[in-house]
Amino acid sequence: MTLPINGLSHVRGSTARPLINATIPSFMAEVRKRHGGRTAAVFCQTSDCWTYHDLMRRVDRLASGLLSIGVYKGDRVGIWSPNRPEWVLVQFATARIGAILVNINPSYQTSELEYALSHAGVSTLITAPHFRDSDYLAKLLALAPELATARPGELRAKKIPKLKRVIQLGPDPAHGTMSFDEVMDRGGVAPKSRLDGISASLSPDDAINIQFTSGTTGRPKGATLSHRSIINNGISTARAMHLTPEDVLCIPVPLYHCFGMVLGNLAAISYGAKMVFPSEGFDPLATLEAVQTERCTALHGVPTMFSAMLDHPEFYRFDLRTLRTGIMAGSLCPKPLMARVIQDMHCCDITIAYGMTETSPVSFQSDRGDTPARRSSTVGRIQPHVECRVVDKEGKTLPIGQKGQLLTRGYLVMKGYWNDPEFTSKAIHDGWMQTGDLATIDAEGYCKITGREGDMLIRGGENVYPVEVENLLITHPDITAVQVFGLPDARLGEEVGAWIILRPGASMTVDALRDWCKKKISPFKVPRHIRFADDMPLTATGKPQKFKMRDKMSKNLEITRSS
């Protein structure tokens, strides 16, 4: 058990097991030796099923194909795609040759795509033709009309001059693009000695991945991660779940995010477990079917994903008794949801994890021995080889139980924001990542996230922490999701606003909810402005986008006041 140091909100993870000092290619080579004949990945939508031998043969073919078209160590290779088999191949093929993988959010619009490609200096983009109602090729042509007349591999685009190659997934590649299958074919039977020589030249501390922050508050920044940081984070989270080669991990979370790519792929691979990908994007029915068909023992998701599965009208026709563990992350897991996940989904050892893109991502995680109450109120204890403390505004470590900003230090901290030294220097001080999250650490080392520094609102001189109000509202039996934030008010400076989703079939009035709140919290914390909605804006990973809700409610208030 890792306890706080000297009665302060300062914890250090165990160092009993050494970190793995390896690159992804050398790590994967060891995995292949131990588990080569075991099933590595199942893609339910395409019916693809690969052993670890199959996976690595395909990775080597793609790596060799990328070399043949001029992709080398240090080049940035973007991937703009939902969860497809090719995504997994690209993840490991780029690492095989030391190219830096740039994860691009599948929901990006043209301006966001331009920013990501330009900022990271992407020279090769691997893209799906479309996803859901988003036409990727049309967006790309709007950004780079030169693609329509370019020869494949010879793009010269005015707005994104560094982009030279576009590789399209699927059949019938558009004009100016290269076919993914063609690039694979160029690799043929890869000259393994050449690939091994390149892999041997890599360092565990080399940059290998750029992940743009989720954009819940504004313009994303490119967190740059190393081989060493993401390998060890995958291993640590797998250990917290007690994964073995017999486990089957269902991964409905997006691969472009750390949740899918690190806590999913790398965690499963580190123990030779089987990865199951239910669909290209999250679909509750497809996920339930995958768990039953593949007899999954572990399941990842954010709370809204688990709620969507539990509330699906066909939920009770599925046999989920093989489930044991997994990770729930992204936001608070309410007590009622935790109870349903354990009782109805049989996921008794589900773990709660906390982290951020900039920390590879996980720094705290619960263990299977933690009670449901602990898992619904805290994010567990510190991970191995990680150090965290809670500080006041002057940077002084606070006593146990006091609220302040959470700082993180260790192997998991990013190398920096890509091409952004100013933001990097603001984010990392003496190795400590300034998370911007408010937290407390108790006497047993459990961490509770209490909000974001910028989220606190001041109503008439009184400080209101949105998470405190959210934690109350989510206990109402008719509420399934809630976000609380400040809204401008001429008299008080700010008022408390709440965006609420009710359970199916429930009805409620604003006055009734306010009356319920008044019996449970101080009057100044009771939401003044309440919106009952069918859904809420989310990032691709299911995180609520408060700034969009705040903007929408603010505009509605302005219209109401002016009418």
Cα separations in angstroms, 34 against 196, 222, 272, 509: 18, 34, 8, 60
Confidence of residue 218 (pLDDT cuts 50, 70, 90): low
Whether the pLDDT of residue 427 is over 70: the answer is yes
Given this model, what pLDDT does residue 401 score? 98
Whether the pLDDT of residue 8 is over 90: the answer is yes
Cα separation, 157 vs 144, whole angstroms:
5
Whether the pLDDT of residue 203 is over 60: the answer is yes
φ, ψ for residue 297 (rounded to 5)?
-105, -10
Burial 289-314 (b: 16+ CB within 10 A, else e): bbbbebebbbbbbbbbbbbbbbebee
Torsion of CA 247, 251, 255, 258, to 10 degrees: -70
Q: What CATH fold (topology level) applies to the domain 456-562?
A: GMP Synthetase; Chain A, domain 3 (3.30.300)
Q: What is the mean pLDDT of residues 95-101?
A: 99
Q: What is the mean pLDDT of residues 23-37?
A: 98
Pairing of strands 207-212, 248-250: unpaired
Residue with the larger pLDDT of the pair 312 and 561? 312
Given this model, what pLDDT does residue 156 score? 98
In this prediction, what percent of the chain has a pLDDT beyond 70? 98
Q: 91-100, 188-197, 345-354 — which is least confidently predicted? A: 188-197
In this prediction, what percent of the chain has a pLDDT beyond 90? 85
Confidence of residue 214 (pLDDT cuts 50, 70, 90): low
Whether the pLDDT of residue 95 is over 90: the answer is yes
Domain ranges (residues) in the chain = 456-562
Q: Which two tokens stand for residue 554?
A: 């603010």
Q: What is the pLDDT of residues 449-471, one digit of tens each?
A: 988 887 888 898 888 889 889 98
Confidence of residue 150 (pLDDT cuts 50, 70, 90): very high
What is the H or E stretch that residue 288 is in?
Answer: helix 284-294
Whether the pLDDT of residue 148 is over 80: the answer is yes
Please count the other Cβ atoms lying within 10 Å of the Cβ belonging to residue 111.
11
Cα separation, 82 vs 421, whole angstroms:
30
Given this model, what pLDDT does residue 220 score? 80
Given this model, what pLDDT does residue 561 score? 60
Given this model, what pLDDT does residue 363 score? 99
Given this model, what pLDDT does residue 491 score? 87
CA-angle at 326, arms to 266 and 251, nearest 5°:
55
Largest CA distance in the chain: 73
Helix, strand or coil, per DSSP, at residue 458: strand
Q: How many helical (H) and strand (E) elements, i.e. helices and strands, does the chain have?
A: 18, 30
Cα separation, 353 vs 339, whole angstroms:
17
Q: 22-26, 99-103, 191-195, 282-286 — which is least confidently predicted? A: 191-195
Given this model, what pLDDT does residue 562 score? 58
Q: What is the pLDDT of residues 113-128, one digit of tens each?
A: 999 999 999 999 999 9
